[in-house]
Amino acid sequence: MRILIVEDDELLASGLTRALAIPGYAVDHVSNGEKALLALDAEHYDLLVLDIGLPGIDGFGVLRRVRERRQTLPALILTARDAVSDRVRGLDLGADDYMTKPFALGELEARVRALLRRGHHAQSAQLSCGALLMDTLAHRAWLNHKAINLTAREWGVLEYLLMRQGQVLSKDKIMQAVCNWDEEISSNAVEVYMSRLRTKLDPAGVHIRTVRGYGYLLDEADNARP
């Protein structure tokens, strides 16, 4: 799942980015409304965390344009303003939740989880392939009903493969899906993650196949083709 943080306080944005990256979310950050709109055009996001007091186009303006474009991603507003009229305005423009600064990081993380769960209500939070079951909201995975341990990066790669099982995915697409803008991983690193995942999945008959010249494909043993 990918989150966009729109916040001009660099210290706060850095802390939020680090905190939300720990569970395995891909988190991008921009510092003004213009860049936020460009980012929302360029990427698919599952959640928007939006400050109101932004330079240029403020948070209300960003939210208005997002909803005018019929973009339905959940939006969590962060603001130093505590006036009821500001809260009402934000909710009327289409915000899904509202937090006043300063706030407890633990509460923000809980609200993020709730909004992601609500945003994916129409879709199953559970992904499966043969003996593999992944709960994307609980951040837990099982093989043959036994829990498996995954690093944050392994989780991101496997979630991406599961959400697009049956599709051949290139290394470039995988890197783009699991990395923040300010991160870089090499194609060799992708191969390392694939090797680690294969070690964990192969014994249960869930295979990540290499399609030479194209990328990777997640498949069950019974469906695998030579």
Looking at residue 200, its pLDDT comes to 93
Instruction: Write the pLDDT tens digit of every residue in 186-222.
Output: 778 888 999 999 999 999 989 999 998 889 999 775 5
> What's the confidence (pLDDT) of residue 183?
65
* pLDDT confidence of residue 16: 93
Q: What is the pLDDT of residues 31-51, one digit of tens each?
A: 999 999 999 998 889 899 999
Same domain, 138 and 114: no
| Percentage with pLDDT > 70 across the chain | 91
CATH of residue 75's domain is 3.40.50.2300
Residue 91 shares a structural domain with residue 169 = no
Number of domains in the chain: 2
Domain shared by 30 and 107, yes or no: yes
Tokens encoding 178: 């699991």
Same domain for 60 and 131, yes or no, is: no
List % helix, strand, coil for the chain (3-state, nearest 5).
45, 25, 35
Interhelix angle 10-21/105-119, rounded to 10 degrees, is: 60
Residue 177 backbone phi and psi in degrees, to 5: -70, -35
Cα–Cα distance, 105 to 62 (Å, whole number): 24
Domain that residue 204 falls in: 126-223
CATH number for the domain spanning 157: value is 1.10.10.10
